Structure 1
Amino acid sequence: MLPTEGKTVPPRYRYEQIADDLAERISSGEFPPGSKLPSRRELIEQYEVTEPVIDRAMQVLRIKGMTETLPGVGVFVRE
């Protein structure tokens, strides 16, 4: 019996899905190093979620070392 057999996989949180999507877009070169990510408002509209969900996704990318935030300026892909 496989370790996952008979077990349900817990649903992924929306912020995790968004962080993974943005990470993939960064890795693919859609957002190259040094580029600015879309604004919080644009991401809210694009993903149809609330502000805290986007904030959490941005936090995940920051923790992974993929982005840096310049207060009052925006979120940028790290060089």
Structure 2
Amino acid sequence: MRGPSVPPQYAYQRVAEDLTRRITSGEFPPGSRLPSRAELCAEYDVSSFVADRVFLILKMNGLTESLPGAGVYVKETGQLDG
């Protein structure tokens, strides 16, 4: 007998969910810088395309903001959407 099947996830979904969990748990508090694209690629063994999509998802969910040339940062509490 097989256990319940879990639908497959795209790599960007898996990484975005993990980073969301890490942000909401306080591992990355408001104002902190997230790992760079290269660091994300190495940590999660994903391509730069996947890393870029992860950053886009986090931004669309109102969790982060990008500062050109400086990186991606967790939004301050007062700036969180919703």
TM-score (norm 2): 0.83
1: CA distance between counterparts of 2:69 and 2:22?
23
Q: Which runs of 4+ in 1 moved over 6 A?
A: none
Task: Give the TM-score of the pair, scaled to structure 1.
Answer: 0.86
Corresponding residue of 1:66: 63
CA distance, structure 1, for counterparts of residue 72 and residue 20 of structure 2? 13
Q: State the alpha-carbon separation in 2 of the partners of residues 64 and 31 from structure 1.
A: 16
- String of CA shifts for 1:2-21, please: whole Å, max 9, x gaps: xxxxxx76421110110000
> Once the two structures are superposed, what CA deviation does each residue of 1:19-72 show, in whole Å capped at 9, x if it has no partner?
000000000100000000011111100000100000001100000000000010
Structure 1: runs of 5 or more not aligned:
1-7
Looking at structure 1, the residues matched to 25 and 7 of structure 2 have their Cα atoms a distance apart, in angstroms, of: 28
Structure whose alpha-carbon radius of gyration is higher: 1
Ranges in structure 2 where 5+ consecutive residues have no aligned partner: 77-82
Identical residues among aligned pairs (%) = 56
